[in-house]
Structure 1
Amino acid sequence: MRLFEVILIVILLAAAIAQMTKSFPGWSRPLTVLAVLVAFWHVIHEGTHWQMFPVLAGLILLVAWQLIPASRRTSRYAAMRKPVTVAVAVLSIATFGMLLIVPMFSLPKPTGNYPVGTRIVYLKDSSRTEDKAEKPGTPRELMVQIWYPADPSNNHLAAYERLSETIPATSYRSVLWTNSREEAPVATQGGPFPVLLFNHAWGGRRTQDTFLTEDLASHGYVVASIDHTYNASRVVLPGDRVIDDIGGGDAIDPDLHSASEITAVWNRELSTWVADEIFVLNTLQSDDLDEKSPWHGRLDTRRAGALGHSFGGAAAVQLCSVDPRIQSALNMDGWTFGDIRLRAANQPAMFLYGITSSAGQQDSNAVGAEAELDTTDRNEVDASLRQFGGYKVSISNTSHMDFTDHPLVSPWRGWTRPGHISPARIQTIVRAYVLAFFDQTIRGANPSLLQPGTPSSFREVQIEHWNPESKPESTSIAPTKSATPSIHQID
Structure 2
Amino acid sequence: MRLFEVILIAILLAAAIAQMTKSFPGWSRPLTTLAVLVAFWHVIHEGTHWQMFPVLAGLILLVAWQLIPVSRRTSRYAAMNKPVAVAVAVLSIATFGMLLIVPMFSLPKPTGTYPIGTRIVYLKDSSRTEDKAEKPGTSRELMVQIWYPADPSNNHLAAYERLSETIPATSYRSVLWTNSREDAPVATQGGPFPVLLFNHAWGGRRTQNTFLTEDLASHGYVVASIDHTYNASRVVLPGDRVINDINGGDAIDPNLHSASDITAIWNKELSKWVADEIFVLNTLQSDDLDQKSPWYGRLDTHRAGALGHSFGGAAAVQLCSVDPRIQSALNMDGWTFGDIRQRAASQPAMFLYGITTSTEQQDPNAMGAEAELDTTDRNEVDASLRQFGGYKVSISNTSHMDFTDHPLVSPWRRWTQPGHISPARIETIVRAYVLAFFDQTIRGANPSLLQSGTPSPFQEVQIEYWSSEAKAASIETLKPPLPR
**Worse overlay, 460-469 or 246-255:** 246-255
Q: Residue by residue, what CA displacement relative to the aligned partner does 1:204-227 show, whole Å, maximum 9, x if unpaired?
A: 000000000000000000000000
Change (3 A) 1:82 1:470: farther
Task: Indicate the SS of the match to 1:365.
Answer: coil
Change (3 A) 1:486 1:352: farther
Any unmatched runs of 5+ in structure 1? 472-477
Change (3 A) 1:370 1:482: farther
CA contact (8 A) 2:462 2:478 kept: no
Task: Indicate the SS of the match to 1:316.
Answer: helix
Q: Residue by residue, what CA displacement relative to the aligned partner does 1:362-386 show, whole Å, maximum 9, x if unpaired?
A: 7567421111100000000000000
Considering only aligned residues, what root-mean-square deviation do their CA atoms show, in Å?
Answer: 3.0
Change (3 A) 1:122 1:481: closer
1:412 deviation in Å?
2.3
1:486 deviation in Å?
23
Change (3 A) 1:222 1:267: same
Q: Residue by residue, what CA displacement relative to the aligned partner does 1:124-154 show, whole Å, maximum 9, x if unpaired?
A: 0000000000000000000000000000000
CA distance in 2, matches of 1:470, 1:84: 78
CA distance in 1, matches of 2:481, 2:54: 41
- 1:216 corresponding residue in structure 2: 216
Q: Residue by residue, what CA displacement relative to the aligned partner does 1:57-94 show, whole Å, maximum 9, x if unpaired?
A: 00000000000000000000001101101100000000
CA contact (8 A) 1:232 1:244 kept: yes
Task: Indicate the SS of the match to 1:391.
Answer: strand
**Worse overlay, 424-433 or 451-460:** 451-460
CA contact (8 A) 2:306 2:328 kept: yes
Moved over 6 A (4+): 478-487
CA contact (8 A) 2:118 2:180 kept: yes
CA contact (8 A) 2:192 2:298 kept: yes
1:358 deviation in Å?
8.5
In the superposition, the TM-score normalised over structure 2's length comes to 0.96
Change (3 A) 1:326 1:483: closer
CA distance in 2, matches of 1:137, 1:483: 53
CA distance in 2, matches of 1:480, 1:37: 64
In the superposition, the TM-score normalised over structure 1's length comes to 0.95
CA distance in 1, matches of 2:172, 2:127: 37
Percent of pairs identical after alignment?
Answer: 91
1:360 deviation in Å?
3.7
1:250 deviation in Å?
1.7
CA distance in 2, matches of 1:454, 1:295: 39
CA distance in 2, matches of 1:57, 1:407: 30
CA contact (8 A) 1:354 1:485 kept: no
1:276 deviation in Å?
0.1
CA distance in 2, matches of 1:448, 1:298: 28
1:418 deviation in Å?
1.4
CA contact (8 A) 1:358 1:483 kept: no
CA distance in 2, matches of 1:93, 1:135: 50
Q: Residue by residue, what CA displacement relative to the aligned partner does 1:221-265 show, whole Å, maximum 9, x if unpaired?
A: 000000000000000000000000012322211111111110000
CA contact (8 A) 2:461 2:479 kept: no
Q: Residue by residue, what CA displacement relative to the aligned partner does 1:386-408 show, whole Å, maximum 9, x if unpaired?
A: 00000000001010000000000
1:411 deviation in Å?
1.3
CA distance in 2, matches of 1:453, 1:325: 30
CA distance in 1, matches of 2:303, 2:289: 15
Q: Residue by residue, what CA displacement relative to the aligned partner does 1:21-71 show, whole Å, maximum 9, x if unpaired?
A: 111100000000000000000000000000000000000000000000000
CA distance in 1, matches of 2:224, 2:339: 23
Change (3 A) 1:444 1:358: closer
Q: Residue by residue, what CA displacement relative to the aligned partner does 1:273-332 show, whole Å, maximum 9, x if unpaired?
A: 000000000000000000000000000000000000000000000000000000000000
CA distance in 1, matches of 2:291, 2:481: 47
CA contact (8 A) 1:210 1:405 kept: yes
CA contact (8 A) 1:385 1:466 kept: yes
Change (3 A) 1:87 1:226: same
Task: Indicate the SS of the match to 2:274.
Answer: helix
- 1:381 corresponding residue in structure 2: 381
CA distance in 2, matches of 1:329, 1:72: 73
Q: Residue by residue, what CA displacement relative to the aligned partner does 1:81-110 show, whole Å, maximum 9, x if unpaired?
A: 011011000000000000000000000000
Task: Indicate the SS of the match to 2:462.
Answer: strand
Task: Indicate the SS of the match to 1:146.
Answer: strand
**Worse overlay, 252-261 or 357-366:** 357-366
Change (3 A) 1:157 1:226: same
- Matching of residue 245 in structure 1 with residue 245 in structure 2: yes
CA contact (8 A) 2:391 2:466 kept: yes
CA contact (8 A) 1:356 1:486 kept: no
CA contact (8 A) 1:62 1:84 kept: yes
1:446 deviation in Å?
0.2
Q: Residue by residue, what CA displacement relative to the aligned partner does 1:144-182 show, whole Å, maximum 9, x if unpaired?
A: 000000000000000000000000000000000000000
**Worse overlay, 47-56 or 21-30:** 21-30
CA contact (8 A) 2:58 2:87 kept: yes
CA distance in 2, matches of 1:480, 1:191: 36
**Worse overlay, 241-250 or 357-366:** 357-366
CA contact (8 A) 2:355 2:395 kept: yes
Change (3 A) 1:417 1:484: farther
CA distance in 1, matches of 2:250, 2:413: 28
Q: Residue by residue, what CA displacement relative to the aligned partner does 1:401-435 show, whole Å, maximum 9, x if unpaired?
A: 00000000111211100110000000000000000
CA contact (8 A) 2:466 2:474 kept: no
Task: Indicate the SS of the match to 1:486.
Answer: coil
CA distance in 2, matches of 1:13, 1:366: 56
- 2:475 corresponding residue in structure 1: 480
CA distance in 2, matches of 1:68, 1:222: 58
CA distance in 2, matches of 1:264, 1:215: 35
CA contact (8 A) 2:9 2:92 kept: yes
1:481 deviation in Å?
18
CA contact (8 A) 2:467 2:474 kept: no
Change (3 A) 1:311 1:371: same
CA contact (8 A) 1:314 1:336 kept: yes
CA distance in 2, matches of 1:367, 1:251: 20
CA distance in 2, matches of 1:71, 1:309: 65
- 2:313 corresponding residue in structure 1: 313
Task: Indicate the SS of the match to 1:274.
Answer: helix
CA contact (8 A) 2:462 2:477 kept: no
Length, aligned pairs only: 481
CA distance in 2, matches of 1:364, 1:147: 43
Change (3 A) 1:364 1:31: farther
Q: Residue by residue, what CA displacement relative to the aligned partner does 1:325-377 show, whole Å, maximum 9, x if unpaired?
A: 00000000000000000000100000000011298477567421111100000
CA contact (8 A) 1:353 1:486 kept: no
